């Protein structure tokens, strides 16, 4: 079992920055594929960024086209934490952001945080 707790959301003006954090419980955090998803009102939840363990695809990252060049995902395995640095924020980035974890043998993200609200004003 993995428990995830997000923090760092808030209200920011367009062009500003926020850094989200997701603290994970458990001793095997370094083995999990960690993802950040977001869900805007009236829209489906969508993957924003993902980072794999260093032992799995060399710690490769993925970004949705809408955030490439603006968002950066990173992880600190010593602190069981994954981050999402968000720069040049736009109003369309407004959403609830969720952290999720996927084990090597799972096709889907099985563990989810409670979400943190990000609101970008124009």
50, 73 Cβ separation under 8 angstroms: yes
pLDDT tens string 69-91: 999 999 999 999 999 999 999 99
DSSP character for 45? -
pLDDT for the residue 112: 97
Which residues lie below 8 Å from residue 106, measured CB to CB, with a gap of 6+? none
The alpha carbon dihedral of 56, 61, 64, 65 has a sign of negative
DSSP character for 105? T
| CA angle (46, 48, 50) in 5-degree steps | 115
pLDDT for residue 58 is more than 90: no
110, 3 Cβ separation under 8 angstroms: no
Please state which of the ranges 29-33, 64-68, 85-89 shows the lowest mean pLDDT: 29-33
CA distance 11 to 91: 11
pLDDT for residue 10 is more than 80: yes
CA distance 49 to 51: 7
């Amino acid at each position: 079992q993995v428990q995830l707790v997000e923090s760092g959301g808030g209200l920011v003006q367009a062009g500003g920055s926020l850094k989200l954090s997701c603290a994970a419980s458990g001793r095997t955090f370094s083995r999990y594929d960690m993802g950040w998803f977001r869900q805007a009102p009236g829209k489906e939840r969508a993957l924003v960024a993902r980072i794999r363990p260093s032992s799995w695809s060399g710690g490769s990252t993925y970004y949705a086209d809408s955030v490439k060049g603006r968002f950066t995902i990173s992880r600190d395995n010593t602190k069981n934490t994954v981050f999402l640095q968000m720069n040049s924020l736009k109003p369309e980035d407004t959403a609830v952001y969720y952290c999720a974890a996927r084990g090597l043998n799972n096709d889907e993200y099985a563990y989810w945080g409670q979400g943190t609200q990000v609101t970008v004003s124009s």
